[in-house]
């Protein structure tokens, strides 16, 4: 019994210590403090977690409950009239009636169906054709309590009707305030007759790889679905059809219907607007992309105040100055910078300023150009009509030019004015070249405007082959010296070789006139 009592005492003592430690841990708590700020509109306050403690084991439930009222669902309807061309009717709903025989249906019957084939010759009876309705879903975010919503431009593009479902179930019609195709953003307005819950934009420069990322939207029409992930990368850029701004990459599940919806951080601040995914199947593959909130905030503010977004246009095609290209041009290979001009558009501000193919733009409007992204951003942010200084490196010399920035059109018409290639480069070492003749143009399908010498053969394992040159490519220039015959190409290559350089910079065009610089070894 005594031994039992001693064991019981020891057991009670251990339990007491364990309970004490447990209470201490709970009392101390592992907490996250979150803050929210007050919107400029008097009496309005953004959704988010109030000042206070959020216990870690509660996850993000409290934050999500707080911000979800600012997320809206969009149903977009596009009406397209059905086209009936004479007797080319893919589906004829009157076929069976007609086959019953002539005179089976009186005149008044066909008057009930003004789009029927029998009425094609009757202008009075042939009224407006029926309209098919195409509906799509997406998401949006209330960013102003007066009823302003941001979403993707591609969600509401060509919409005949936009219906917005609010957090309380009300469905309201929306009107488009303005759009920006460049960033794939659009601003809508609804009249709710009251201030709405809204979310505030966070600071993109505070976002880091590894931060929490919470997406809310309507994937496959499932309203207010939440997915969680982390920020996978920052500053993603793509050349194909996508917003032409650096994007945030996250691994949160984003699918069709999430477009236009917000991406939140752990404090309930908007860090981006979901805009696209990369997936072989069309569904989430763990690679989602969002327009950063800093860009979103600038765009929606501009649309609010001016109704549209204007951007500057220079009219050049540019490429990165790689160490190889820098070495070929006699520049510092260890610190290449600037934007190499591979093409100048006809009647463009660049042409007017005297910018030439082969120039390296190193400064624009007083700002150093480190890379092609920097130049693109600075030009587009320049007010159209502004006259700006432009510094370029040309044949090793720094030259100052003056240019007037034009207005960037979003319909692609400016791209149609692209000049034909004037220069291309390629060393004849390991490749046979020939002067462009009508026969060779036809054989390699080379447009008339393309100038230079055409590659007719590339030897295996040659410098030309290693540089990626192919038969049918056109060499426009070599080390910024135009070539228009096999003889001139050989002369330029020989002169470059005699200077002791180990490589040459070629400007190469394809049959359509698309150009790029290529560095090729000389041996």
Catalytic positions = 154, 184, 259
Cα(79)–Cα(131) distance, rounded to whole angstroms?
6
b/e string for 323-336 if b means 16 or more Cβ within 10 A? Answer: ebbbbbbebeeeeb
Cα(343)–Cα(418) distance, rounded to whole angstroms?
8
Cα(297)–Cα(291) distance, rounded to whole angstroms?
10
Q: Tell me the CA distances in angstroms from 486 to 229, 232, 250, 427, 455, one per residue in order.
A: 58, 50, 51, 11, 10
Among all chains, which residue has been given the structure tokens 């809206």? 72
| CA dihedral for 439, 441, 445, 449, sign (positive or negative) | negative
Count of C-beta atoms within a 10 Å radius of residue 189: 16
Q: Tell me the CA distances in angstroms from 245 to 85, 293, 295, 371, one per residue in order.
A: 43, 12, 8, 14
Q: Tell me the CA distances in angstroms from 68 to 42, 74, 191, 197, 224, one per residue in order.
A: 22, 15, 19, 9, 7
> Which structure tokens are listed for 91?
């589906």
């Amino acid at each position: 019994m005594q031994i039992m009592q001693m064991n019981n005492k020891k057991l009670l003592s251990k339990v007491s210590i364990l309970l004490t430690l447990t209470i201490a841990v709970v009392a101390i708590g592992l907490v996250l403090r979150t803050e929210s700020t007050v919107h400029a509109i008097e009496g309005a306050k953004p959704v988010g977690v109030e000042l206070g403690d959020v216990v870690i084991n509660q996850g993000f439930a409290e934050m999500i409950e707080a911000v979800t009222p600012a997320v809206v669902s969009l149903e977009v309807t596009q009406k397209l009239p059905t086209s009936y061309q004479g007797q080319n009717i893919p589906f004829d709903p009157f076929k069976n009636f007609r086959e019953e025989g002539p005179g089976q249906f009186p005149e008044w019957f066909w008057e009930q169906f003004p789009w029927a084939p029998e009425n094609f010759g009757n202008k009075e009876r042939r009224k407006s054709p029926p309209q098919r309705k195409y509906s799509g879903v997406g998401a949006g975010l209330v960013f102003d309590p007066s009823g302003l919503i941001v979403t993707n431009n591609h969600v509401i593009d060509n919409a005949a009707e936009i219906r917005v479902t609010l957090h309380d179930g009300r469905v309201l019609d929306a009107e488009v305030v303005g759009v920006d195709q460049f960033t794939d953003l659009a601003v809508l307005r609804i009249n709710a007759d009251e201030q709405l819950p809204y979310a505030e934009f966070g600071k993109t420069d505070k976002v880091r790889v590894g931060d929490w990322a919470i997406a809310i939207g309507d994937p496959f029409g499932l309203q207010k679905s939440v997915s969680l992930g982390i920020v996978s990368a920052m500053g993603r850029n793509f050349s194909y059809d996508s917003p032409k701004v650096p994007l945030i990459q996250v691994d949160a599940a984003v699918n069709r219907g999430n477009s236009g919806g917000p991406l939140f951080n752990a404090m309930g601040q908007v860090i981006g607007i979901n805009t696209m995914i990369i997936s072989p199947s069309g569904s989430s593959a763990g690679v989602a992309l969002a327009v950063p909130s800093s860009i979103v905030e600038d765009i929606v503010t501009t649309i609010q105040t001016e109704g549209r977004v204007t951007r500057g246009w220079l009219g050049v095609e540019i490429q990165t100055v790689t160490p190889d290209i820098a070495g070929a041009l006699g520049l510092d290979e260890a610190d290449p910078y600037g934007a190499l001009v591979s093409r100048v558009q006809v009647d463009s501000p660049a042409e007017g300023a005297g910018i030439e193919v082969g120039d390296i733009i190193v400064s624009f409007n007083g700002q150093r150009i480190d890379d092609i992204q920097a130049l693109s951003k600075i030009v587009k942010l320049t007010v159209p009509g502004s006259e700006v200084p432009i510094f370029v490196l040309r044949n090793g010399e720094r030259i100052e030019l003056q240019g007037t920035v034009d207005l960037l059109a979003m319909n692609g018409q400016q791209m149609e004015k692209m000049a034909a290639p004037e220069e291309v480069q390629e060393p004849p070492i390991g490749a046979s070249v020939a002067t462009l003749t009508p026969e060779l143009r036809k054989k390699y399908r080379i447009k008339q405007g393309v100038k230079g010498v055409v590659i007719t053969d590339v030897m295996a394992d040659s410098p030309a082959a290693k540089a990626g040159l192919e038969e049918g490519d056109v060499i426009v220039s070599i080390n910024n010296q135009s070539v228009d015959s096999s003889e001139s190409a050989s002369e330029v290559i020989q002169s470059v070789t005699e200077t002791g350089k180990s490589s040459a910079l070629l400007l190469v065009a394809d049959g359509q006139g698309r150009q790029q610089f290529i560095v090729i070894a000389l041996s």
